[in-house]
Amino acid sequence: MAAESLRCRECGEAYSLDAHYVCERCFGPLEVAYAERTISDVGEARRRIQAGPQNIWRYAEFLPIDAPPGPSLRASSRFGLPAGCTPLIKADRLAERLGLREVWVKNDAANPTHSFKDRVVSVASARARELGFDVLACASTGNLANAVAAQAAALGLESYVFIPADLEEQKILATGVYGTNLVKVKGNYDDVNRLCTELSGEKEGWAFVNVNMRPYYAEGSKTIAYEVAEQLGWETPDRVVAPIASGSLFTKIAKGFSEWLELGLCTGGLPAFNGAQAAGCNPVAAAFESGADVCRPVKPDTIAKSLAIGNPADGPYALELARKSGGAIDQVADDEIRAGIRLLAETTGIFTETAGGVTTATLAKLAERGDIGSDERVVLVITGEGLKTLDAVRGTFEAYEIEPSYDAFEAQVGVRA
Ligand SMILES: [Zn+2]
C-alpha cells in the first residue's frame, strides 16, 4: 500500500510526497493518499505482520515512508526509539463497575516517553530524514515535547521544542532532560502553534513534526487501530472511546480500521467512535451537541492540558466520524476527570494522566446514560502516563502516618476485617 501523493481533504488536489501540509488552492489540510491495493492471501499477509518487529514498523507497508528505519540503513542511530506494540488489557473490574460486558484498555502510556505521541513522532521523523531534514521541532501541549526531544536524542538530531510557558512541571522536566532547545512561549497552545507555523515557513531544514510534516505525523496514529485489531484476533471492536485534542488521533484510528477492513485483513465493521473532551476545552463536544459542522474556537481552561487545543484542526472530521459511526462526543468537568483517573487506577492498576481521566470519565458517562449495548466490546484508548500530571491526584486520597511501633499501627490503622 505505497503512499502515492498528498491530497487535499477538501478539494482533492494532489501534491508530491514532500513537506507540504496545506492546499495551495483552497487552504484545506493535506492527507497521505495510497495506491489502490488488494490482498489475495490474507493469511500470508497476517503472518508477515506477525513476523515483523515488536513496534510500529511491523506495519511499515501501511505507513508513508520509503523504508522502515532499521538494519537496511547504515548507522544504528537511525533506528530511533521504537514505539508501539503497547498492551491491550481486558479490564473486567472496570467493566463490572460500569455495568458493561467487555472493556479493553489500550495502554499507550507504555510507549518510550509514555504517550501515544511516540507513534506519530516515529513516522514524522522517519519521513523527515528521508526528505533530508536535520532538525526536529514541534508545537506541543506536553506529550509531544517529550516525544520529539527523546526521538531527536535517539537519532542524534538537533531539536527545538515549543511549549506554553504554564505547562505541568513534570512534562517540562521530562523534555529538557534530553538536551533539546526548550522554548517556553508566553501564551496558550494556539499561540505556540501560530508561532511554529510562521517559523516553519522560514527555517529551512527544520521538520516541525506537527506542522510541515503533519500529513506523515498524523498517519502514525493509525497504528493504534492496527494493533487493537491484531490483538483482538484480527477483529474490530464494536466501540472505541478516545480523547480529542486536535481530532487527529480520533480520526486516524478510524482510518486504520477502515483500511484493514477494506483489505480484508480484519473482520467486523467500523466501530462506533466516542470522543472525549474536557468541559474546559470543549470546541468539538459543543459543536456535536449543537449539531454544527464546524467548531467555534474556545480559550482553554482545564486541568487536561494535553487536550487543551482551543482551535482543533481536525474538529470537523472528528464531528463527521462521530456522527456517521453512531458515536458521540462528550465533555466532562475537571472533578469528573480526577474521578476518572481514580476509577481507572483502582480497577485496572493503570495510572493515567488527565487526558486518560477525560476518556475514562466519558466511558463512565456513556455507561450511565445507557449508550453502550449489553453485547458490546469496547476499547478505551489511554494515551498517556499519570506521573506526568501528578497535581491532578494530589489531595484525592489520604495516607496513614504513624510512629514505628506495633501499638501505633493497631491504634491508628488496624486491620480491616
Ligand atoms: Zn484544496
* Residue 67: per-residue pLDDT: 85
* Residue 80: per-residue pLDDT: 86
Most distant CA pair in the chain: distance in Å? 78
Q: How far is the CA of 54 from the centre of ligand 1 (A)?
A: 37
* 3-class SS letters over 114-181: CECHHHHHHHHHHHHHHCCCCEEEEECCCHHHHHHHHHHHHHCCEEEEEEECCCCHHHHHHHHCCCCE
The SS3 assignment for 226 reads: helix
Beta bridge partners of residue 247, listed in sequence order? none
Q: How far is the CA of 314 from the centre of ligand 1 (A)?
A: 15
Q: How far is the CA of 126 from the centre of ligand 1 (A)?
A: 26
Please give the helix or strand (H or E) that residue 329 lies within, else none: strand 328-332
For residue 417, CA distances in Å to 238, 408, 414 come to 41, 18, 9
* Residue 141: per-residue pLDDT: 87
Closest CA to 232 of 46, 374, 390, 17: 46
What is the per-residue pLDDT across 166-221, written as a single tens digit (0 to 9) for each?
888 888 999 999 999 999 999 999 999 999 999 999 999 999 999 999 999 999 99
Phi and psi, residue 17, nearest 5°: -80, 60
* Residue 75: per-residue pLDDT: 45
Q: How far is the CA of 188 from the centre of ligand 1 (A)?
A: 28
Q: How far is the CA of 252 from the centre of ligand 1 (A)?
A: 20
Q: How far is the CA of 84 from the centre of ligand 1 (A)?
A: 32
Q: Does the model's pTM come out above 0.85?
A: yes
Closest CA to 81 of 46, 51, 53, 106: 53
Closest CA to 34 of 259, 207, 232: 259
Closest CA to 187 of 259, 219, 139, 123: 139
The SS3 assignment for 29 reads: strand
Q: How far is the CA of 29 from the centre of ligand 1 (A)?
A: 7
Instruction: Report how far residue 254's alpha carbon sits from residue 240's, in angstroms, rounded to the nearest whole number.
Output: 9
Instruction: Report how far residue 41's alpha carbon sits from residue 291's, in angstroms, rounded to the nearest whole number.
Output: 43
Phi and psi, residue 368, nearest 5°: -65, -40
Which long-range CB contacts under 8 A does 251-255 form with residues at least 24 apart? 251/314, 251/317, 251/318, 251/321, 252/218, 252/219, 252/220, 252/221, 252/222, 252/224, 252/225, 253/221, 253/222, 253/224, 253/225, 253/381, 254/225, 254/321, 254/325, 255/222, 255/225
Q: How far is the CA of 335 from the centre of ligand 1 (A)?
A: 41
Q: How far is the CA of 215 from the centre of ligand 1 (A)?
A: 14
* Residue 417: per-residue pLDDT: 55
Q: How far is the CA of 28 from the centre of ligand 1 (A)?
A: 5
Q: Answer whether 73's CB lies under 8 Å from 67's CB.
A: yes
Q: How far is the CA of 21 from the centre of ligand 1 (A)?
A: 11
Q: How far is the CA of 14 from the centre of ligand 1 (A)?
A: 9
Q: How far is the CA of 177 from the centre of ligand 1 (A)?
A: 40
Q: How far is the CA of 282 from the centre of ligand 1 (A)?
A: 27
Q: How far is the CA of 289 from the centre of ligand 1 (A)?
A: 28
Q: How far is the CA of 205 from the centre of ligand 1 (A)?
A: 25
Q: How far is the CA of 305 from the centre of ligand 1 (A)?
A: 31
C-alpha cell at 345: 487506577
* Residue 95: per-residue pLDDT: 98
C-alpha cell at 299: 480559550
What is the per-residue pLDDT across 100-157, written as a single tens digit (0 to 9) for each?
999 999 999 999 999 999 999 999 999 999 999 999 999 998 999 999 999 999 999 9
Q: What angle do CA 289, 193, 355 make, to 5 degrees?
A: 50
Q: How far is the CA of 85 from the centre of ligand 1 (A)?
A: 35
Closest CA to 301 of 345, 343, 256, 331: 331
* Residue 299: per-residue pLDDT: 95
Q: How far is the CA of 32 from the centre of ligand 1 (A)?
A: 13
Which long-range CB contacts under 8 A does 187-191 form with residues at least 24 apart? 188/164, 188/299, 188/300, 188/308, 188/310, 189/139, 189/140, 189/141, 189/164, 189/300, 189/308, 189/309, 189/310, 190/297, 190/309, 190/310, 190/311, 191/164
β-strands 14-15, 3-8: how paired?
antiparallel
Q: How far is the CA of 250 from the centre of ligand 1 (A)?
A: 22
Sign of the Cα pseudo-torsion (154, 231, 229, 307, in order): negative
Residue corresponding to grid cell 478539494: 11
Q: How far is the CA of 313 from the centre of ligand 1 (A)?
A: 15
Q: How far is the CA of 193 from the centre of ligand 1 (A)?
A: 21
**Tens digits of pLDDT across the chain (417 residues):** 689 999 999 999 999 999 999 999 999 999 999 999 999 999 999 999 999 999 999 999 999 999 887 654 444 456 789 999 999 999 999 999 999 999 999 999 999 999 999 999 999 999 999 999 999 999 998 999 999 999 999 999 999 999 999 888 888 999 999 999 999 999 999 999 999 999 999 999 999 999 999 999 999 999 999 999 999 999 999 999 999 999 999 999 999 999 999 999 999 999 999 999 999 999 999 999 999 999 999 999 999 999 999 999 999 999 999 999 999 999 999 999 999 999 999 999 999 999 999 999 999 999 999 999 999 999 999 999 999 999 999 999 999 999 999 999 999 998 765
* Residue 72: per-residue pLDDT: 47
Instruction: Report how far residue 134's alpha carbon sits from residue 248's, in angstroms, rounded to the nearest whole number.
Output: 25
Q: How far is the CA of 31 from the centre of ligand 1 (A)?
A: 11
* Residue 319: per-residue pLDDT: 98
Q: How far is the CA of 64 from the centre of ligand 1 (A)?
A: 20
